[in-house]
Amino acid sequence: MPTPTRPGRRHRRAGLAAKLALVPVAAAGAWIAWSRFVVDHRQPLHPALPGHHECLETAAGGIGLYGSAEATGVPLLLIHSVNAAANAYEVRPLYRHYAGSRPVYALDLPGFGFSERSDRIYTPRLMTDALHAVVAEIRRRHGNARIDAVALSLSTEFLAQAALDRPEDYRSLGLISPTGLDARFERRGAQGSDRARAIIAFPLWGRPLYDLLVTRPSMRFFLEKTWGSKVIDEGLFEYDQATTHRPGAEYAPFSFLAGHLFATDIGALYPRLTLPVWMIHGERGDFVDYRHADRFRDAPNWTIEELPTGAFPHFEDLPAVTRRYDAFLTTLAE
């Protein structure tokens, strides 16, 4: 017969289990306290790019806009990606390369960098409206000329929609490591969950959760996944640290994490583009699923190229990227 368990031993085990159950609660409480009282949420933020820096007041809120417009030519707009630490520094190599040879601009999308970071749900429409406002201002400054625009990662979806809304604004579209050419291409229906965002953004743990995502080890981990390498751009890493430790930095990423910023019908957007499209992507890292890109390889208005890099090829091999982009531009009819 089994030996009966003594009451004292049962009580000790129950007490130990209760104490162990409190460990994660205590750890969460400690992290919340650390976030609230120790983490600096007002780190200084300097401009990510050289040249003129201003804030445009638009229907999408205040938009941080960088510009180097001393040269003549077709204006170029550069659009950073969307992630927990997104900002205009992500297009810095391209901006610096083209500054002085043509008018070049870059913006901070709503919720990022120097743009408005209010507590609201960030959607593709909001981002597209911001692009409309910025493009209209650029065109106004340059005799209503059509522009070239290059977007990175998820922002390629916003640019595609903007170009479908107002094709007369653009001469060409550049897509660097575009999203939506993976399994999402064939999906339809609503994206994003208000409930998920409400849970993520709950005031008690929302900012502490975000602070956990943007710790230095966590941020380095995600950048290494983007690069597909331990060798990342340290300047971008440090700027990401500064921009994520600012008031309101968490609100746009909450919408990103909840799925609100993904187009509901991306598979219907890209095929409708009639403007010249240049696409380039890397072959290394976590963002290499372009299974539906073959649909466009024979399209007369698409040029698709690959490089042995991660998802930010312009940081790793700027000469190769600009050489290919410039060759594409020479094919455009004026």
Domain residue limits, the chain = 52-330
Backbone dihedral region of 100: left (phi > 0), alpha (psi from -120 to 50 degrees) or beta?
left
Three-state DSSP string of the chain? CCCCCCHHHHHHHHHHHHHHHHHHHHHHHHHHHHHHHCCCCCCCCCCCCCCEEEEEEECCEEEEEEEECCCCCCCEEEECCCCCCCCHHHHHHHHHHHECCECEEEECCCCCCCCCCCCCCCCHHHHHHHHHHHHHHHHHHCCCCCEEEEEECCHHHHHHHHHHHCHHHEEEEEEECCCCCCHHHHCCCCCCCHHHHHHHCCCCCHHHHHHHHCCHHHHHHHHHHHHCCCCCCHHHHHHHHHHHCCCCCCHHHHHHHCCCCCCCCHHHHHHHCCCCEEEEEECCCCCCCCCCHHHHCCCCCEEEEEECCCCCHHHHCHHHHHHHHHHHHHCCCC
Structure tokens that stand for 181 in this block: 């050419």
Confidence of residue 22 (pLDDT cuts 50, 70, 90): very low
- pTM across the whole model: 0.90
pLDDT of residue 61: 97
Q: Which residues fall within 8 angstroms of residue 43, CB to CB, at 6 or more apart? A: 241, 242, 245, 246
CA distances to 85, 166, 310, 312 from 223, in Å: 10, 34, 10, 10
Backbone dihedral region of 73: left (phi > 0), alpha (psi from -120 to 50 degrees) or beta?
left
- Highest mean pLDDT, choosing among 39-53, 147-161, 207-221, 284-298: 147-161
Strand ranges of the sheet holding 302-307, from the earlier edge strand across to the other edge? 52-58, 61-68, 104-107, 76-79, 147-152, 170-176, 277-282, 302-307
pLDDT tens sequence across 143-163 = 999 999 999 999 999 999 999
d(CA 264, CA 281) in angstroms, rounded, equals 23
Q: Does domain 52-330 have CATH number 3.40.50.1820?
A: yes
Question: What is the arithmetic mean of pLDDT over 226-240?
Answer: 97
Question: What is the arithmetic mean of pLDDT over 139-143?
Answer: 98
Let me know the angle formed at the C-alpha of 180 by 179 and 181, rounded to the nearest 5 degrees. Answer: 100
Question: What is the arithmetic mean of pLDDT over 175-194?
Answer: 84
Question: Mean pLDDT of all residues in the chain?
Answer: 90
Question: What is the arithmetic mean of pLDDT over 21-35?
Answer: 56
pLDDT over threshold 80, residue 256: yes
